[in-house]
Amino acid sequence: MNVIAKIVFCLATMTCFASNEMTLDEKIGQLLMVRFNGKEANEDAKALVQEVHVGGVIFYNWANGLDSPEQVRSLNKNLQQLTLENQTPIPLLIAVDQEGGLVSRLNRGFTIFPGNMALGKTNDPDLAEEAAYAMGQELMAVGVNMNLAPVVDINNNERNPVIGIRSFGDSPKSVSIFAKKALDGYHKAGIITSLKHFPGHGDVEIDSHENLPIVNKSIDQLCENELLPFSELCDLADTVMTAHIMVPSLDSENCATLSRNILLILRNLIGFQGVIISDSLLMEGVLKNCDYSVEEAAIRAFNAGCDILNLGGRRLFRTRDNLDLTVREIQKIHQALVHAVKTNRISEERVNQSLDRILSLKKRYKLSSSVQQIEPTDSFEHREISKKIAALALHTIQNGPIPSIKESRIALFAPEFLRETILQTEIASIGKKTSALFYQSLIPCAEEIFSVQKLVNQSDMIIFCSYNAWKNPAQTTLLQILCNIKKPMILISLRDPLDTSLFPNIPLIISTFSPTAPSIQAASDLLNTGIY
The model's pLDDT over 187-198, given as tens digits with 9 standing for 90+, comes to 999 999 999 999
Q: Is the pLDDT of residue 154 over 60?
A: yes
Query: What is the per-residue pLDDT for 327?
Result: 96
What is the CATH topology of the domain spanning 394-529? Rossmann fold (3.40.50)
Beta strand extents in 170-257 (DSSP E only): 194-198, 239-242
Q: Is 209 a catalytic residue?
A: yes
Q: Which residues contact 346 (CB under 8 A, 6 or more apart)?
A: 299, 302, 303, 337, 340
Q: Is the pLDDT of residue 10 over 60?
A: no
Residue 404's CB: how many other CB atoms inside 10 A?
A: 11
**Higher-pLDDT residue of 269, 442:** 269
Amino acid at 186: Y
CB of 278 closer than 8 Å to CB of 257: yes
CA distance 51 to 32: 13
Q: Which of 209, 244, 334, 382 is catalytic?
A: 209
Beta carbons of 240 and 198 less than 8 angstroms apart: yes
| CB-count exposure of residue 168 (10 Å: 0-12, 13-18, 19+) | buried
Q: What is the mean pLDDT of residues 264-290?
A: 94
Q: How far apart are CA 204 and CA 181, in angstroms?
A: 26
Active-site residue among 97, 184, 279, 307? Answer: 279
pLDDT band at 256 (very low <50, low <70, confident <90, very high): very high
* pLDDT per residue as tens digits for the range 469-503: 999 988 999 899 899 998 999 999 999 999 999 99
Q: Does residue 22 have a pLDDT over 60? A: yes
- Across the range 86-110, mean pLDDT stands at 96
Contact 489, 482 (CB under 8 A): yes
CA distance 145 to 243: 22
pLDDT score, position 324: 76
Confidence band (pLDDT; 50, 70, 90) for 376? low
Whether the per-residue pLDDT at 318 is higher than 50: the answer is: no
Residue 174 has pLDDT above 90, yes or no: yes
Q: What does DSSP say about strands 103-104 and 32-34: parallel, antiparallel, or unpaired?
A: unpaired
In this prediction, residue 284 carries a pLDDT of 86
Is the pTM higher than 0.75? yes
Please choose, from the candidates 403, 424, 404, the residue with its C-alpha nearest in 3D space to the C-alpha of residue 414: 424
Q: What stretches of 123-280 adopt beta strand conformation (E)? A: 146-147, 194-198, 239-242, 275-277
pLDDT at 3 over 60: no
**Torsion, CA 19, CA 4, CA 374, CA 274, rounded to 10:** -10
Residue 67 annotated among the catalytic residues of the structure: no
The band of 21, judged by pLDDT with boundaries at 50, 70 and 90, is: confident
Contacts with 379 (C-beta within 8 Å, 6 or more apart), sequence order: 111, 134
